[in-house]
Amino acid sequence: MPTKKTRALGSTDMKWTPIGLGTWDMERDAKKSIRALQAGLDEGANHIDTAEMYGSGRVESLVGEAIQGRRDQVFLVSKVLPSNADYDGTIAACHRSLARLKTGHLDVYLLHWRQKNKPLAETVRAFETLKQGGKIRAWGVSNFDVEDMEELAALAGAENIACNQVLYHLRERAIEIKLIPWCRARNIPIVAYSPLGQGKMPQHAALDAVAEDHGVSAAQAALAFLIRDPNVFAVPKSADERRARDNVRAADLALSTAEIKKISDAFPAKPRRGLPMI
């Protein structure tokens, strides 16, 4: 298995490869998806992101099958639905996820998005109970904007937030304006989901030129651009073995300052109201 460079995951004791493996919508062809996940791990990725919502639990089950015999090679992340995110519901949801994943613990457990009628304090209390019981090693959130992060940090301490997973790709760079700097200042990593545009790969001659100069695909160049910040990780999803390997290999691509500017100018970061999410 190729050795990939890793980065510290914020204040945790974990070191992740900059590019991991996403799993949204993978239940359509479980056998093919399992092979793709295993190919990504074989290529050196060391973290898999999933959620109880994906395929109503079916994706967690196929991830559990994909990592059988190699659980110690994988940092495993799952998410609790906000509808389950009161204290008792979070505890119960975590145990269901563990059963489907056939593992005794999650490395990181995330609140999938915020639901205003579910107090954050209850979710955090459940996360801390799960952590103390050895069911999770760390916890974080997904789809949280700056205001939500400020509230969470005041409640639980920024040092206890393992990461914030958000939508981030070349045509959706709004988080670079406020959210990424806020998280970077507090050592809270950003994890980019749908980093290739959810099947709608951004296209531009400048991106193609950079990719051609390196002998890689435009998708690989795009991923390398997104993880140029050492505080940013990405979890692209592919049910194709070759593409899964190519995605992981993108972490080996070092872009020059001029190349980064070329791509940035082609896909400028534009402010928008509200946090983008899908």
159 is a domain residue: yes
Contact 58, 96 (CB under 8 A): no
**pLDDT greater than 90 at residue 116:** no
- Asked if residue 272 belongs to a domain, the reply is no
Spatial distance between the Cα atoms of 207 and 119, rounded to a whole number of angstroms: 43
Q: Is 132 in a helix, a strand, or coil?
A: helix
**Cβ neighbourhood burial of 124 (10 Å; 0-12, 13-18, 19+):** buried
Annotated catalytic, 54?
A: yes
Domain count, the chain: 1
Does pLDDT of 118 surpass 90? Answer: no
What is the pLDDT, as a whole number, of residue 276?
Answer: 87
* pLDDT given at position 121: 97
What pLDDT, on the 0 to 100 scale, is given for residue 199? Answer: 76
Tokens representing 76 are 């495993």
CA distance 261 to 114: 34
pLDDT computed for residue 1 by the predictor: 62
pLDDT, residue 278, reads 86
Distance CA 29, CA 241 (A): 13
SS3 68: coil
Answer whether residue 127 is part of any domain.
yes
Tokens of 196: 């290739």
Distances (CA, A) of 30 to 80, 238, 245: 22, 12, 18
Residue 112 DSSP SS3: coil
Please check whether residue 274 lies inside any domain of the structure.
Answer: no
Please state, rounded to an integer, the average pLDDT across all residues of the chain. 96
Q: Which two tokens stand for residue 126?
A: 């459940």
Structure tokens at 128: 């801390």
Q: Assess if residue 171 is contained within a domain.
A: yes
User: Minimal CA–CA distance to 36: which of 174, 185, 153, 28?
Assistant: 28
Q: What is the mean pLDDT of residues 44-50?
A: 98
Residue 151 pLDDT: 97
* Residue 271 belongs to some domain of the structure: no
State the pLDDT at residue 117.
83
Mean pLDDT value across residues 195-209: 92
276 within some domain: no
Given a cut of 90, whether residue 198 has pLDDT beyond it is: no
Q: Tell me the per-residue pLDDT of 237-276, one tens digit each, with 9 for 90 and over.
A: 999 999 999 999 999 999 999 999 999 999 999 998 889 8
Residue length of the chain: 278
Per the DSSP assignment, residues forming a β-bridge with 78 are 109
Residue-range definition of the domain harbouring residue 245 = 7-266
Tokens of 28: 């359509």
Model pLDDT for residues 218-227, shown as the tens digit of each residue: 999 999 999 9
pLDDT (tens digit per residue) in 26-40: 999 999 999 999 999
Give the pLDDT confidence of 121-154 residue by residue, as tens digits.
Answer: 999 999 999 999 999 999 999 999 999 999 999 9
Q: How confident is the model at residue 272, as a pLDDT?
A: 87
Distance, in Å, from the CA atom of 110 to the CA atom of 123, rounded to the nearest integer, reads 10
Q: Residue 190 is part of a domain; what is its CATH number?
A: 3.20.20.100
Helices (H), 157-255: 179-185, 205-214, 218-226, 241-249
For the chain, the first-to-last Cα distance in angstroms comes to 33
Residue 273 lies in a domain: no
pLDDT one-digit tens code per residue, 53-91: 999 999 999 999 999 999 999 999 999 999 999 999 999
User: Which of 54, 109, 168, 193 is flagged as catalytic?
Assistant: 54
CA distance 183 to 146: 8
